[in-house]
Amino acid sequence: MKISFSEKMDLPKTGMLAVGIEEGGHLPPAARTVDEATGGAVSRALAGNRFNGKKGDSLTLVAPAGMECARMVLFGVGKGLQQLDWLSLGGKLVKAGNGAGDKQIAVLLDCGAEDLAAAASDMAEGAMLGAYRFDKYFTKQKADEKPSVKTLSVHVAAAADARKAFKPRAAVVDGVYLTRDVVSEPPNVIYPETLANVCKELEELGVKVDILNEKKMAKLGMGALLGVGQGSVRESFLVSMRWDGGAKNKAPVAFVGKGVTFDTGGISLKPGPGMEEMKWDMGGSGTVIGLMKALAGRKAKVNAVGVVGLVENMPDGNAQRPGDVVTSMSGQTIEIHNTDAEGRLVLADALWYTQQEFKPKAIIDLATLTGAIIISLGHEHAGLFANDDALAEQLSAAGKASGEEVWRLPLGDAYDKLLTSDCADMKNIGGRAAGSITAAQFLQRFIKDIPWAHLDIAGMAWGSKDKPTSPKGATGYGVRLLDRYVSDVHEA
């Protein structure tokens, strides 16, 4: 979908026209122009409906006499919209346009915000987010089942400022799209090697990419990560992606992602129903890859590194067993009690490697780690665990600003003791109670003296229903959250 901005308040000749109405049915200048051009059709519509410009409400009309376009949407701005409202509005307009079969949407924007250029940029970003579709494998779609909207033009006085504001946001949306793409792909298409190749493609944007194969990881002592993948015929990899956009020799901020490209549970086999969804157990790595594309695409003034551990968890004759003891890169030993608690094993070595290799000033990991976090928080927040209050507050603020919210849960010695093993330094599960917390406690054992946060995104990486700015399926959660964190904290 092509996005454009124009200072001209011309009425479109095709497609959909969208125009704002203030609370109480007040007509701003653009709406008055449309009303005059249509012989008072807007005023009559307001008089004959309950719609009166309230925030979030809308009214769709077949275009009246005096207009050449197909339909008109009046959207309420109330007494003013906030950034997330504009994002949502953009997504809703595109979905409405696709539903009606419109090819073009024109928005006359002259109300609802003090900074109309920022509002125009936010609306365009929301439209792009809402326009995403993963439909490459459909071969029999009818024309009316495919997205129809090809262009969105936002007409606003400060069009040049809107265009400038939107450019870096478009790069971030590109990152979100990449995350959604790789998470949506079937596991016979995206597996450790092919996902590593996706990372390699970021070199075109100036990202430095290094790929470790199993031989190199074995030499480094990554027994925890390698143990997870040993039951698969597909080789495991660890990939690092570095973007040096900040001051030379300044320590980077690091992002680490769990990349289990398919998770059967291993010998601790998952139930069959729903297992097909385990293609998105690499959602944490998908977010990190998308984030690195976003940062490089908008040329972020930050040094950042993304590290992803890529494995496939399968149950063959060589698979890891419950009762096995593995030695992690840190030298700590781990007794395997459940092979379906595999993501933390991958992250254990990935986190240690990241600290050893890059000496970051802060480290944030993301993983679809536990089903327990969905029981705790549903699909509204990611679980946040941190050893540093300032970092936790920064991520919480970025979550609220981006609409990708997090909720902090506790860590503590009592939870940590649940990981005590009879034959190794620790076991990889702490029991049924507080499952998300004990998983985070496990990860904390592989963190040195550095600010660290863990985001359990199991309830957020995949959605079961359409939302204005995300489709059913892969959401791309975390890219915009972490981009906002980087912007506010490391580029401010």
Asked whether 120 and 156 are in contact (CB, 8 A), the reply is yes
Residue 139, burial from CB neighbour count under 10 angstroms (0-12, 13-18, 19+): exposed
Which residue of the set 55, 150, 270, 361 is catalytic? Answer: 270
- Report the amino acid identity of residue 38: T
Q: What is the CA radius of gyration of the chain?
A: 25
Q: Using an 8 Å Cβ cutoff, are 447 and 347 in contact? A: no
How many whole angstroms separate alpha carbon 275 and alpha carbon 263? Answer: 8
Q: E strands of 81-219, at which residues?
A: 104-108, 151-155, 208-212
Active site residue 270: yes
| DSSP string across 440-452 | HHHHHTT--SS-E
Taking 3-state DSSP, the helix, strand and coil percentages for the chain, each rounded to the nearest 5, stand at 40, 20, 40
Q: Is 81 helix (H, G, I), strand (E, B) or coil?
A: coil
Q: Which residues pair with 107 in a beta bridge?
A: 18, 154
Tokens of residue 224, six digits? 């925890």
Q: Which among 344, 427, 480, 484 is annotated as catalytic?
A: 344
Q: Is 344 marked active-site?
A: yes
454 in helix, strand or coil?
strand
Catalytically active residues are 270, 344
